[in-house]
Amino acid sequence: MHHLTRLAVAGALACAASLSIAQTSQPERPATTFPYTPGLDVTAMDKQADPCVDFYQYACGGWMKNNPVPSDQARWSVYSKLAQDNQRYLWGILDGLAKQKDGRSATQQKIGDYFGACMDEGAIAGRGAAPLQPWLDQIDALSSKRDLPRLLAALQLTLSSTDFFFGFSANQDFGDSTRVIAFADAGGLGLPDRDYYLKTDARSKRLRAAYLTHMATMFGLIGQPPAVAKRSAATVMRIETALAKASLTRVEQRDPYKLFNKADRKALQRMTPGFDWETYLAEVGQPGLDTFNVTQPKFFRAFGKQLRTSELAAIKTYLRWHVLQAMAPALSPQFDEPHFAFFSKTLRGVEKQQPRWKRCVQLVDAQLGEALGQEFVSRAFSPELKAKSLHMTRQVEEAMAKDIESLAWMSPETKKRAREKLDAIVNKIGYPDTWRDYSAYEVQPNDFAANVVRGTLFENRRQLAKIGKPLDRSEWLMTPPTVNAYFNPQMNDINFPAGVLQPPLFDPKMDDAPGYGNTGGTIGHELTHAFDDEGRQFDAKGNLKDWWTKKDAKEFTERAQCIVDQYARYTVVDDIKINSKLTLGEDVADLGGLILGWMAWQSQMASMPQQAQPLRDGLTPQQRFFVGYAQWACENDRPENLRVTAVTDPHSPGKYRVNGVVVNMPEFEKAFACKPGQPMAPVKRCRVW
């Protein structure tokens, strides 16, 4: 669960979306209503396909055929399309507030003026490189490595909390979830993952060469001659590669015990003898701190070594690059376009930059998300919708309670602890009970880059101010318009923003079967995260604590291994297989979630027998349940993007989030009368929850 504090959110947010037709002759316009797509869309299906051979093709074949990846996207999915519909609706709200000068509330003024400044391309282009200059001047003025802590604190607070060597933030203590402590984390890489620096295959070498070329281009834009710019790029690559070698892999980071390393200030200082933590902590406003969770001690020792062995000039070069990378999306096209060309086009295959309105909506959501969320919720999320969502959530939780009791492999002792954890889960539906106060965040109507910097500073200060304060259990880590959901193991809560509770993902007009397959399965998915390979290690209070008997833990691991082995056989793209140790948590949650959605639907059907009978669109209710589930995952992906996500994404591709789940459900085999041994009805099945 990461807060969106990076400036680079302007480049590409996770759920960024675009038009399903790449170019049209009609100009794009903001929306005042949502287009309606039903929760089960028959036109999205391919009824020529055999559901027992390839269920994903059967449920999503029509959608994939009719929805090529738009030119400004790395991938395109049902989620992306809903995110875009939400964005277009938010565009309408923001466009109105930007033009309105009188009668706006304080928060309406902020989001309206922020959006207006972001949309003023002429003013942004006119300022050129000027917003960079204060940072470059500070780096030029750095006369000694001893002065680095002061400068690093300023860069991390105002530009990015993770891009400059390491990350520094606030989080719940793994050992005592009621306490918020300082976290020092690995960071400082420009490429998406450590593996990009270390893999030796031809494609990885080509991408590193392209990265060097891109860095040299950007250094050229701040006046470095070509030969100097090339040397600067090589310097950055050398430092980042050393940091990458000392960073944990993504699979290793799934083990919370590997990330739980409490240290006092003296211990932290010993890891990085050349870095004055006293000065750094004073500069970030936390002068008295003496308790830290150093998530990756090996990384901090490597950082300390870089300080010792690198010339001051090399460190300054590294800092200049990360200022350029962090600021580029907020600058004029001369900086923004090459940034897009490498990070979106080269890395992910995106053909063209997103339209300005879309990027500005995303940035308002990232930096003023709860102010924007108030406007969204008041128009698009009724109390009735919240009540219906909560009703389904409670049914899924009741199903989980029954499921735990029915597990033959789990002892009564562990079942008792599992029930305690389940009973303690808090359901957050739609939006927070209390809206965030943005009064300390100044937004100017004519200074986009400065607004972004002040927004990053506001959020980083807000985060660090939590250290040592009582935990706010009511806080959300996603904004209300977001098309996504999450479970937080330390808060022990599930969170469903209003943005994801819209058709076709949540369709109150539709019969219950597809809704329980789709939203019920998603609620079950988030609930199952409380008991996946990572979540199961936290107790009912959100503390990292082993509440399993040895025998039960072994039984869980054996069942999880069945899933690991199953998904390791699936191909992502080219000859790249799913890294099923990375995707295990999501794969377990997908399967457990759909089982729970099915159980909750059965309970709902028992109270409404009239829904059990009729065929609709030629499908039985049971078939509609599974098609409803599958259609949330309809997607098309660029091969370049698949190569990135194979390394970085803990989710499997959509096809396997459907086919990989239904093969493990006898209810699916029965619903579609599959013959045992067909691809979707294997003899061996996996089940954890």
In a domain, 616, yes or no: yes
Quote the pLDDT of residue 17: 28
Same domain, 192 and 289: yes
Whole-angstrom Cα distance, residue 189 to residue 317? 14
- Verify that 254 and 388 share a domain, yes or no: no
CB atoms within 10 A of CB 646: 21
CA 177 from centroid of its chain's CA atoms: 22
154 in the same domain as 256: yes
Which pLDDT value is given to residue 611? 63
Of 264, 295, 330, at which residue does a domain stop?
A: 330
| 608 pLDDT tier (thresholds 50, 70, 90) | confident
The predicted pLDDT at position 16 comes to: 30
- b/e map of 317-327 (b: 16 or more CB within 10 Å)? bbbbbbbbbbb
Quick one: 402 and 551 in the same domain? yes
Please report whether residue 300 resides in a domain. yes
Q: What percent of the chain has pLDDT over 70?
A: 96
Gap between the Cα atoms of 425 and 540, Å rounded: 8
Same domain, 545 and 405: yes
pLDDT at 6: 24
Task: Give pLDDT, residue 430.
Answer: 96
Domain that holds residue 168: 130-330
Candidates 426, 566, 580, 446; CA nearest to 493 is: 426
The reply to whether 310 and 417 lie within a common domain is no
Instruction: Say what the pLDDT of residue 607 is.
Output: 82
Confidence of residue 32 (pLDDT cuts 50, 70, 90): confident
> Would 551 be classed as within a structural domain?
yes
8 pLDDT band, cuts 50/70/90, is: very low
Q: 514 and 611, same structural domain? A: yes
What is the C-alpha separation between 52 and 58, in angstroms, rounded?
Answer: 9
Phi, psi (deg, nearest 5) at residue 292: -135, 150
Tell which of 294, 310, 330 closes a domain.
330
Mean pLDDT of the chain: 94
Q: How far apart are CA 292 and CA 272, in angstroms?
A: 14
Rounded-to-integer distance, Cα 494 and Cα 333, Å: 40
Mean pLDDT over 607-624 rounds to: 84
In a domain, 371, yes or no: no
Q: Which two tokens stand for residue 530?
A: 């409380």
Does the structure show a pLDDT above 90 at 612?
A: no
pLDDT band for 12, please (50, 70, 90 cuts): very low
Kindly state whether residue 9 falls inside one of the protein's structural domains: no
11 has a pLDDT exceeding 90: no
pLDDT tens, 430-448? 999 999 999 999 999 999 9
Q: Do 206 and 292 fall within a single domain?
A: yes
**pLDDT higher than 80, residue 643:** yes
Band (pLDDT 50/70/90 cuts) for residue 21 is: very low
Q: Does the structure show a pLDDT above 50 at 10?
A: no
Kindly state whether residue 296 falls inside one of the protein's structural domains. Answer: yes
Instruction: Specify the pTM.
Output: 0.93
Read off the pLDDT of residues 311-359 as tens digits, 9 standing for 90 and up: 999 999 999 999 999 999 999 999 999 999 999 999 999 999 999 999 9
pLDDT tens per residue, range 530-577: 999 999 999 999 999 999 999 999 999 999 999 999 999 999 999 999
CATH of the domain at 571: 3.40.390.10
Neighbours of 679 (CB within 10 A): 13
Whether residues 316 and 386 fall in one domain: no
272 and 388 co-located in one domain? no
Distances (CA, A) of 102 to 97, 108, 114, 167, 375: 10, 10, 16, 41, 17
Residue 580 has pLDDT above 90, yes or no: yes
Cis amide linkage into residue 355, ω under 30° from 0: no
Token couple for 117:
């400044």
What is the Cα–Cα distance from 299 to 171, expressed in whole angstroms? 19
Is the confidence at residue 1, as pLDDT, over 60? no
Residue 280 domain flag: yes
Say yes or no: 230 and 170 in one domain.
Answer: yes
Beta strands per DSSP E along 468-529: 486-488, 493-497
Task: Tell me the residue type at 103.
Answer: G
Long-range contacts (CB closer than 8 Å, 24 or more residues apart) made by 134-141: 135/159, 135/323, 135/327, 136/222, 136/320, 136/323, 139/316, 139/319, 139/320, 139/323, 140/316
% of the chain with per-residue pLDDT over 90: 93
The residues, ordered by sequence, that sit 6+ positions from 65 with a Cβ below 8 Å of its Cβ are: 46
User: Is-contact 621 612, C-beta < 8 A?
Assistant: yes
pLDDT of residue 614: 79
Angle between helices 412-424 and 383-406 (to 10 degrees): 170
Among 299, 330, 361, residue at a domain's last position: 330
**Domain annotation covers residue 198:** yes
Residue found by looking up tokens 């999915």 in the block: 77
Is the pLDDT at 25 greater than 70, yes or no? no
Alpha carbons 279 and 465: distance in angstroms, whole number? 18
- CATH of residue 160: 1.10.1380.10
Contact between 608 and 512 (Cβ < 8 Å): yes
Say what the pLDDT of residue 513 is.
95
Please tell me whether residues 293 and 413 are part of one structural domain.
no
Q: What is the pLDDT of residue 19?
A: 26
Q: Is 165 left (phi over 0), alpha (psi -120 to 50) or beta?
A: left
Taking only the tens place, the pLDDT of each residue in 219-239 is: 999 999 999 999 999 999 999
Q: What's the domain count of the chain?
A: 2
